[in-house]
Amino acid sequence: MNDTSLDALARPATLCAFCPKMCRTACPVAEAEGREAVTPWAKMSLVHLARTGQVSLEEPSVRRSLEACTGCGACVEKCAHGNPVAESLFTARGVAGSARIAEHRAAFERTGDVKGRDHAEALVGLPRNKNGRVAYFPGCTRACEDGPEAVRRDLRALTRALDEPVVVCDVSRASRLQCCGYPLYVDGQIDLVEQNLLRLGELFAGHELVVTPDPGCAYVLSTVQSLLIGRRGKARGFPSVLPLVEVLAQHADRFADAARDRVLRYHDPCYLGRRGRTFDAPRELLRAACGRPPLEFHKNRGDADCCGGGGLYPMSNPEGAADIARRRVSHDGNAHIPAELVVTACPSARRNFARAGVRVADLIDVILGELP
């Protein structure tokens, strides 16, 4: 066990261990699993107990508790200290180690993807080079799970909004440069995340702006990147990285009436909304496309409930993740106001809702008039 990493968690773990659980009801995992053992307080208390030698992070039940976090950040909103619970749990996962971490590290070091996939398979026939003001970075969910058609839809929307050519980042398994590193970040593998970001800085260096459809990628490539490599990233010409909807919303009028009169309810993805503070852009796009503002969940914007799709939680507890998604749409105070579909702006959120049987659409399909 790496005690140095655990020592770095002394303050956040102690704050939680001696707290009267002010964030008790904020955690989507604790609510869905209905277990005190996975409240933010309990999970962080385990880290505190591990630091003081009273439990081992390697015990299977402790590992399971560390896994029970989507990274949504809802607990932080309720915490007077702004305690970084998710980040602390992610670090603790790394200290505890697991078979998944070992497999992901090995695959990433070999291929640049934790599952050994080749993101370039979704990019065949697209202009991939290092020159061009604006470049598109697909991320693994878009490239490998949504596939080439979804990538092409993103590019059609981006080209229409910007009215200029957009190139695609030259990602591939052969170069081992293709993932932002989010799956490693949530497992506390910061050494690999940092190395990867430095290499991505070189890949992005010819561009002024990199645009990604995945808010998790945008978060790692901007917020985490500036925390981890900061000045070194700037020195290597790391460009601005924005979520796709932010860029599209600057020209929302170009999507006017694409889904006229459709009645949709917008879900704020955690890494776009609460963490990325992007709330208005998707709503402006939906207002333009539908000719009306989207319906809102009662809990929205910074207060939105999580869909359950982040933090690799669907990998460790698929049924728990699906339950969180179903609770998001059925337990909300506005659930009685009918909408045709839930719409969201995160590939992972959309997939998690779909896995849970929720009728859901991708915002890009709405603004291109390609709804089912």
**Structure-token match 């009801």, residue found:** 25
Which of 92, 95, 256 is closest to 160 using CA atoms? 256
Q: Does 180 bind ligand SF4 (CB under 6 A)?
A: no
Among 6, 23, 134, 218, binds ligand SF4 (CB under 6 A): 23
If one counts every other C-beta atom within 10 angstroms of the C-beta of residue 93, the result is 23
Which residues within the stretch 74-113 sit at the binding site for ligand SF4 (CB under 6 A)? 74-75, 78-79, 81, 83, 85-86
Among 6, 9, 33, 40, binds ligand SF4 (CB under 6 A): 40
The amino acid at residue 292 is R
Q: 23 vs 177, which CB is nearer to ligand SF4?
A: 23
Q: 42 vs 120, which CB is nearer to ligand SF4?
A: 42
Q: How many residues bind ligand SF4 (CB under 6 A)?
A: 26
301, 304, 310, 313 alpha-carbon torsion, rounded to 10°: 170
Among 6, 19, 95, 123, binds ligand SF4 (CB under 6 A): 19
DSSP H or E stretch at residue 138: none
Q: Does 186 bind ligand SF4 (CB under 6 A)?
A: no
The amino acid at residue 173 is R
Q: 23 vs 241, which CB is nearer to ligand SF4?
A: 23
Q: 40 vs 215, which CB is nearer to ligand SF4?
A: 40
Give every CB contact of residue 278 below 8 A, 6+ residues apart in sequence: 215, 243, 245, 246, 272
Smallest distance, ligand SF4 to C-beta of residue 276, A = 15
Cα separation values, 273 from 1, 47, 266, 277, 305, Å = 35, 28, 12, 5, 11
Q: Does 15 bind ligand SF4 (CB under 6 A)?
A: yes
Q: Does 258 bind ligand SF4 (CB under 6 A)?
A: no
Q: Does 70 bind ligand SF4 (CB under 6 A)?
A: yes
- Residue 344 pairs in a beta bridge with 267, 362
Q: 113 vs 332, which CB is nearer to ligand SF4?
A: 332
CA 67 – CA 50 distance, rounded (Å): 16
- Tokens of residue 326, six digits: 């179903």
Q: 19 vs 363, which CB is nearer to ligand SF4?
A: 19
- Contact string (CB under 6 A) for ligand SF4, positions 41-60, x = contact: x--x----------------
- Tokens of residue 259, six digits: 């889904």
| Pairing of the two strands 295-296 and 264-267 | parallel
Quick one: which segment of 40-48, 188-196, 336-344, 352-360 binds ligand SF4 (CB under 6 A)?
40-48
CB distance 342 to 361 below 8 Å: yes
Give the HSE-up count for residue 91: Cα atoms under 13 Å, Cβ half-sphere: 21
Smallest distance, ligand SF4 to C-beta of residue 218, A = 18
Q: 21 vs 105, which CB is nearer to ligand SF4?
A: 21
Query: DSSP readout, 319-336?
Result: HHHHHHHHHHHHSSTTTT
Among 69, 166, 244, 307, binds ligand SF4 (CB under 6 A): 69
Q: 23 vs 203, which CB is nearer to ligand SF4?
A: 23
The footprint of ligand SF4 (CB under 6 A) covers: 15-16, 19, 21-23, 26-29, 40-41, 44, 69-75, 78-79, 81, 83, 85-86
